[in-house]
Amino acid sequence: MSVVDVFKKQFGATPAVHVRAPGRVNLIGEHIDYSGGHVLPVAIDRGIDLVARPRAGDRFRLISLQFHNIQECTLPPEKQSFWTDYVFGVVHEFGKMGFSVPALDIAVDGTIPRGAGLSSSAALEVATAWAIQNLVGSSLSRQEIALLAQRAENRFVGVNCGIMDQTASACAAAGHALLLDCNTLAATHIPLGLGGRAAILVAHSGVHRGLSASAYNERRRQCDAALEVIRSKTGREIAFLCAATPRDLDAAKDDLDDTMFRRARHAISEESRVCRAAGALRAGKLEEVGALFNESHASLRDDYEVSCPELDDLAHAIRAQDGVFGSRLTGAGFGGCTVSLVAAAAAKKIVGDLRKNYYLPRGICPIVFVTKAHDGVALMDV
């Protein structure tokens, strides 16, 4: 049954609004959005469908096609460490802006694999925000919707995430990667320049993404601490870690412990890789883009320590195929997915080989697909 059909069956009415928000895969620029760096995500063809309708009274009723049972509560709910937290975090943020959000019946469906690091949570936040915007008559821009969704995750869910995921889900454009300056929030749509030569391949490692809020926040603290040391040693007013140079890092090396040094080295080098990758995509230099993918994975594995054996094995297995430009982990790490740039003509064979020689021997349900760059959040027909 479709999400609209489930809504009608459960709540006995037709939804007033239907929104679809995409997940994202980050081509390059991992774990630097919160250090003021540039990132290069694309919206994918898997996402969240949310339908909603205002209801009388003060009780919200929510159902997910993935979890089935209906959740009911009034505002303000307590955090439950459940998917509904992302919805209510957004509701709270609209309230803080002075909007009166009515009680709602909500049904949600999703095609983003859970725990894959493809931003199902950000897509749910953006879908909720876009639906509420259309119900209460607000006129927030797409970037403002992204910022509201980020605040919901920071304040209510309790994950101190950067702005990349929500911005990709809200602001992406078909056929383009989104080059986002996470310091200024300036966004540029970069034509992918694949020209039918290449495709984006997403493959799940089989490991449910395990980066907890505590591990994520720990890395943010390490980066912040490294920045303070670099500022002190260089005497420069460096606004954010990704604005530091390799020379700045070298100047502070003796005062940074090994962990802080490696965290900072990843952030600074990854910033360079993103800017080079954007230029290479514009120029259609796919071999250069692939090499940058591979360098990024090594940095995330060795300096940022957010990879895992399964992600390393998967990236290696993909690179061993003919027609692969490069492969790297994407998302927060400790599981989840790789993103690879592969020759379009070889994509089908690569998918088949991974199913047979990577997933089957490991007894893993294969989640591997080719995607194009899609548009951001949109209203759909009810």
Same domain (yes/no): 177, 210: no
| DSSP for residue 329 | E
Same domain (yes/no): 95, 127: yes
pLDDT in tens, 69-112: 888 888 877 777 789 999 999 999 999 999 999 999 999 999 99
Same domain (yes/no): 42, 179: yes
Q: Model pTM?
A: 0.92
Instruction: Look at the chain and report how many structural domains it folds into.
Output: 2
pLDDT in tens, 336-351: 999 999 999 999 999 9
Scanning the chain, the segments in alpha helix (DSSP H) are 3-11, 84-96, 120-136, 142-152, 164-171, 213-234, 246-252, 258-283, 286-302, 309-319, 347-354, 360-362
Domain containing 297: what range? Answer: 198-371
Catalytic residue among 109, 165, 248, 303: 165
Tokens of 128: 């909720």
Would you say how long the chain is, in residues?
Answer: 382
Q: Distance between CA 183 and CA 37 in Å, rounded? A: 7
Same domain (yes/no): 144, 172: yes
Say what percent of the chain tops pLDDT 70: 99
pLDDT in tens, 125-167: 999 999 999 999 999 999 999 999 999 999 999 887 889 999 9
Name the 3-class secondary structure at 202. Answer: strand
The residue among 168, 150, 220, 140 whose CA lies nearest residue 40 is 168
CB 71 within 8 A of CB 82: yes
Same domain (yes/no): 308, 209: yes
Same domain (yes/no): 189, 209: no
Query: Which CATH number fits the domain that encloses residue 296?
Result: 3.30.70.890
Query: Which CATH number fits the domain that encloses residue 166?
Result: 3.30.230.10
Same domain (yes/no): 263, 125: no
Residue 329 has pLDDT above 60, yes or no: yes
Same domain (yes/no): 239, 167: no
Same domain (yes/no): 135, 257: no
For the four alpha carbons of 379, 203, 163 and 274, in that order, the dihedral sign comes to negative
Q: Distance between CA 124 and CA 203 in Å, rounded? A: 22
Burial of 352 (0-12, 13-18, 19+ CB in 10 A): exposed
Same domain (yes/no): 84, 164: yes
Q: Distance between CA 191 and CA 278 in Å, rounded? A: 9
Q: Distance between CA 350 and CA 356 in Å, rounded? A: 10
Same domain (yes/no): 225, 159: no
258: annotated active-site residue: no
Same domain (yes/no): 182, 325: no
